[in-house]
Structure 1
Amino acid sequence: MKKLILSTAALALTAGVAMADTIRMGTEGAYPPYNFINDDGKLDGFEIELGNELCERAELTCEWVQNDWDSIITNLNSGNYDTIIAGMSITDERKEVIDFSQNYTPPSNSSFLAMSADVDLESGVIAAQAATIQAGYIAESGATLVEFATPDETVAAVRNGEADAVFADEDYVLPIAEQSGGEMQIVGEPVPLGGGIGIGLRKSDGELKAKFDAAIQSMKDDGTLNPMIVKWFGEDAQTF
């Protein structure tokens, strides 16, 4: 899903720690339905439910830490939390600076969201969240990329005319289109990006990685992961 473009500065951050009594789970809290703040002001979403289940299966005591997307890998490597569970796709670029669990969602599509069907996706102005591979994809195309810090700002840019379309995970933009009452729509063809979403971990935390790998595999094996994906993403969601 969301795919981070890594800065070379992150390569220098190697602050791994041994297994702690409490595992701190880093998430963004701004990317529904993966992770968001609900009406009660609490973290909620697919990854919150999933993360809590994985911690129980791995017999870990876990707590959630909210962190902005643009510094989420930096703060993992700095030791501010122990995992990233924030809609982060597994990519070769990220693997240069962090490790990943096995994926807990299959690869999925990214799509364009616009106000009308006749927007120019090839050479127009396309909004994307900064430090994502959706942004990287647009930067390498013939379109003009405008980046924003949060996903909400990318959608607002289309609504206020700053951009012709927003390019993001289909799981993020499709509900916005469906709930807009016809104001916004999915346009163009979907683009497959990334290799599925996994838990990000410091390279030094191999023991913790093994625990989460085993917990994710157990959910795949006993058939509990797919229904959770469908619960949060709908009947048409890609499953294992």
Structure 2
Amino acid sequence: MKKVILSTAVLALSASFAMAQDVVRMGTEGAYPPWNFINDSGAVDGFERELGDELCKRAELTCEWVTNDWDSIIPNLTSGNYDTIIAGMSITDERDAVIDFTQAYTPPDPSLYVGMDDSIDLTGAVVAAQTGTIQAAHVAESGATLVEFATPDETVAAVRNGEADAVLADASFLQPIADAEAEMMIIGDPVPLGGGVGMGLRESDGELKAKFDAAIQSMKDDGTLNELIAKWEVSSQW
């Protein structure tokens, strides 16, 4: 991972320049509704787009939105391709060892197993999950056979086409699918995972973290964060 010292200096200068200009590039996946997705106009939309725009307004920052595949979203933050991750990312000790996080802007969202047969024995099942998620880590530790996919849609497709017996993901992502498709159903009880969802930042960007922490807290204090959570049905409220 470590390159020459000059590379580190260039990244630090780039980050400082961004802060000086009050321009922040907001990195998201754009493939995980209702948290973040690409709308019919080709723009980033969803709970985190609305949240991120409001946070930038309160922090008096001009923000630009960047999309990035989930499996490389942390490496491309640390390499300077954008300044934050706002992509339904749960705060975990493993991730916190590599990047920094703001305070959580949503409480932990329970995860659900969804499949086409509610009598499946999950301990011996083949379970799909998105690569690099807390759900994939949970399946790997559960004794089930884990099959990983790059995108959330692919995990659900694996169940539909018989590659997997079930999929494990956030309830806010899977519940609408189970409600809309008669052949898809929730299996077992919700699974509490993670420590809430926060914005990821480079360890060196303490000033930017403080600005977003203050903006998140102000939205908690005046109730607007709970209003957004309820509007998009992404998790329980604060």
Q: State the TM-score bracket (shorter-chain normalisation).
A: over 0.9
CA distance in 2, matches of 1:162, 1:223: 43
Report the Cα offset of residue 40 of structure 1. 1.8
TM-score computed with the length of structure 2 as normaliser: 0.92
Cross-structure match for 2:125: 124
Cross-structure match for 1:77: 78
Report the Cα offset of residue 91 of structure 1. 0.8
The yes-or-no answer on 1:224 pairing with 2:224 is yes
Cross-structure match for 1:43: 44
Percent identity of paired positions between Structure 1 and Structure 2: 70
Deviations 1:7-44 (CA, angstroms, capped at 9, x unpaired): xx59x996442224210000000000000011222110
* 1:62-101 superposed matches below 5 A: 62-101=63-102
| Aligned-residue RMSD, C-alpha | 1.6
DSSP-derived class of the 2:74 partner: helix
CA distance in 1, matches of 2:42, 2:62: 22
Contact 1:115–1:183 (Cα < 8 Å) also in 2: yes
Cross-structure match for 2:201: 201
List runs of 5+ in structure 1 lacking aligned partners: 1-8
Cross-structure match for 1:169: 170
DSSP-derived class of the 2:177 partner: helix
DSSP-derived class of the 1:63 partner: strand
List runs of 5+ in structure 2 lacking aligned partners: none
CA distance in 1, matches of 2:72, 2:82: 12
Report the Cα offset of residue 141 of structure 1. 1.4
Cross-structure match for 1:134: 135
DSSP-derived class of the 1:173 partner: helix
Cross-structure match for 2:33: 32
The yes-or-no answer on 1:154 pairing with 2:155 is yes
Cross-structure match for 1:3: none
CA distance in 1, matches of 2:105, 2:28: 15
CA distance in 1, matches of 2:28, 2:142: 30
**Which structure would you say has the larger Rg?**
2
The structure-2 alpha-carbon separation of the partners of 1:23 and 1:46, relative to structure 1 and needing over 3 Å to count, comes to: same
Report the Cα offset of residue 100 of structure 1. 0.5
Contact 2:90–2:134 (Cα < 8 Å) also in 1: no
Report the Cα offset of residue 140 of structure 1. 1.1
Q: Give 1:204's aligned amino acid.
A: S
